[in-house]
Homo-oligomer: A and B are copies of this chain.
Amino acid sequence: MQEINQKFSVPFQYKTLFTENMFDVENDCLKTVLEQQSHNHSKKILCVFDKEMSLHHPGLFNRICKYAEYHNNLFEPVRSPIIIPGGETAKNDRTYVDKILQAIDDGGIDRHSYVMAIGGGAVIDTAGYAAAIAHRGIRTIRIPTTVLAQNDASLGVKNGVNAFGKKNFLGTFVPPFAVINDSSFLKTLDQRDWISGISEAIKVALLKDSSFFEFITSHAGDLQNRDMPAMKRLIYRCAELHLEHIATSGDPFEMGSSRPLDFGHWSAHKLEQLTNFELKHGEAVAIGIALDVVYSSLQGLIDDESCSQILNVIENCGFKLFVPELKSKLDQPNNTDSLIHGLTEFREHLGGQLTIMLLEGIGKGIEVHEVDFDVYREAIDKLAVFESANNELLNAT
């Protein structure tokens, strides 16, 4: 037997830019991004818009065209934007991916041209997936417009759509060409979208940065009340921690079975499904974090005081800590309608051994490979009690 051992590294590089009103003609941000590859600069761009976003920004495509024109025809949109619905609808319906692929073909979009996706995480995931598989990868400029997409979902190296009833069953690891976080899009978010992305910041603060958690603790009210400077600071630090993790974890394309940033996510994914996606991802993550925090405390990993502090911060940002679906089929771990079954699904998606992140202190995560279903049941009961106690307190005042 002869063998050749193939070994190489692929370097990746992309910028995440933070700006305001990026399509004002004086704003140089997009210009800088496009001109960084002047050698092979194709001018073709295919725009993909989130429907909800586009309703709030009716003149957007016009402003994009004027921006291009003002900057000496910096780029050329190959057609009017493809508009797709936000949220899981975009990811569940295969026709949206097909529509983008068709437009890539029709427009002669090549590997040095661009797909520019403007919207929430789901739209960016869908457009990013279509762009990743066309010609083995069209450059994607991601312009996330929600808090969740700006501080987490659109920063990393993944894309994906749902299939066979499973979240992100289809997807690839492909870094973006660039990410542009424009805070002006945040102003038109409804209150649930404004709040829901905060949970990913709480998550990454709890895992990696206790002083960032202190910032969130002391600004929970400001954040809930749409204070823009507080939100911009939260998004920047959260983005920075996520990007740092991808660059330094040693496994950016997740070839192992661990996913250290998915704290609280095994139950969050399952809750989204059990509530037919009426719970938004960030709202489900807030509950998922609360659950794993209580579980961590019941396991003696963190003290009761830290546990209560964290639950209070989550609530003070505007999140619920409990939904009835937490309790569905709780004693039937093999029933796919049971929250506990989310552990099996989480393991299956990553493959290999079950790996769950818990807390052993504020700012310090710890991985475990086994969990106790009974303790999870107890944790769920505690969450219900905590929530109703706080509600009573609220009603009494």
Q: CB within 8 Å of B: which residues of A?
A: 1-19, 28-29, 40, 42, 101-102, 105, 108, 110-113, 132-137, 158, 160, 163-164, 166, 168-175, 236, 239-240, 243, 246-248, 252-254, 256-257, 348-353
In the bound complex, residues from chain B placing their C-beta under 8 Å from that of A110 are 348-352
Since A9-B11, A40-B351, A136-B168 are in contact, a sample of 11 more A-B pairs with Cβ atoms closer than 8 Å, ordered by chain A residue number, is A6-B15, A7-B11, A7-B12, A7-B13, A40-B353, A42-B352, A101-B164, A101-B169, A110-B351, A133-B171, A136-B173
Nearest-Cβ distance from residue A151 to partner chain B, whole angstroms: 12
Nearest-Cβ distance from residue A198 to partner chain B, whole angstroms: 20
A172 touches B133 (CB 8 A): yes
A1 touches B19 (CB 8 A): yes
Q: How far is the CA of A19 from the CA of B4 in the complex (A)?
A: 12
Q: How far is the CA of A236 from the CA of B349 in the complex (A)?
A: 37
Nearest-Cβ distance from residue A107 to partner chain B, whole angstroms: 11
Q: How far is the CA of A5 from the CA of B108 in the complex (A)?
A: 30
Nearest-Cβ distance from residue A179 to partner chain B, whole angstroms: 9
> From A18, which residue of chain B is reached at the shortest CB distance?
B2
How many copies the complex holds: the figure is 2
Contact of A105 among B16, B137, B166, B253 (CB under 8 A): B166
Nearest-Cβ distance from residue A178 to partner chain B, whole angstroms: 10
In the bound complex, residues from chain B placing their C-beta under 8 Å from that of A6 are 12-16, 175, 243, 246-247
Listed by A's residue number, 9 A-B pairs whose Cβ atoms lie within 8 Å are A4-B16, A7-B247, A42-B352, A101-B169, A101-B170, A105-B164, A111-B254, A112-B257, A172-B174
Contact of A102 among B164, B166, B348 (CB under 8 A): B164
Task: Given A40-B256, A353-B40, decide whether A8 and B12 contact each other with a Cβ distance below 8 A.
Answer: yes
Q: How far is the CA of A158 from the CA of B6 in the complex (A)?
A: 14
Q: How far is the CA of A40 from the CA of B255 in the complex (A)?
A: 10
B17 touches A108 (CB 8 A): no
Task: Given A112-B351, A171-B133, decide whether A12 and B9 contact each other with a Cβ distance below 8 A.
Answer: yes
Nearest-Cβ distance from residue A46 to partner chain B, whole angstroms: 14
In the bound complex, residues from chain B placing their C-beta under 8 Å from that of A254 are 111, 136
In the bound complex, residues from chain B placing their C-beta under 8 Å from that of A247 are 6-8
Q: How far is the CA of A127 from the CA of B109 in the complex (A)?
A: 26
In the bound complex, residues from chain B placing their C-beta under 8 Å from that of A172 are 132-133, 136-137, 172, 174
A348 touches B4 (CB 8 A): no
In the bound complex, residues from chain B placing their C-beta under 8 Å from that of A135 are 168-169, 171, 349, 351
B112 touches A170 (CB 8 A): no
B350 touches A111 (CB 8 A): yes
Q: Which of A4, A102, A240: most chain B CB closer than 10 A?
A: A4
In the bound complex, residues from chain B placing their C-beta under 8 Å from that of A15 are 3-6
Q: Which of A16, A349, A352: most chain B CB closer than 10 A?
A: A352
Contact of A3 among B11, B16, B136, B168 (CB under 8 A): B16
Q: How far is the CA of A337 from the CA of B306 in the complex (A)?
A: 72
In the bound complex, residues from chain B placing their C-beta under 8 Å from that of A137 are 172-173, 253
Task: Given A137-B172, A247-B6, A257-B112, decide whether A1 and B18 contact each other with a Cβ distance below 8 A.
Answer: yes
In the bound complex, residues from chain B placing their C-beta under 8 Å from that of A10 are 9-10, 12, 252-253
In the bound complex, residues from chain B placing their C-beta under 8 Å from that of A352 are 40, 42, 110-112
Nearest-Cβ distance from residue A28 to partner chain B, whole angstroms: 8
Q: How far is the CA of A248 from the CA of B8 in the complex (A)?
A: 8
Q: How far is the CA of A134 from the CA of B348 in the complex (A)?
A: 12
Q: How far is the CA of A158 from the CA of B136 in the complex (A)?
A: 8
A133 touches B133 (CB 8 A): yes
Q: How far is the CA of A15 from the CA of B3 in the complex (A)?
A: 7
Q: How far is the CA of A235 from the CA of B245 in the complex (A)?
A: 42
Q: How far is the CA of A239 from the CA of B133 in the complex (A)?
A: 26
Nearest-Cβ distance from residue A173 to partner chain B, whole angstroms: 6
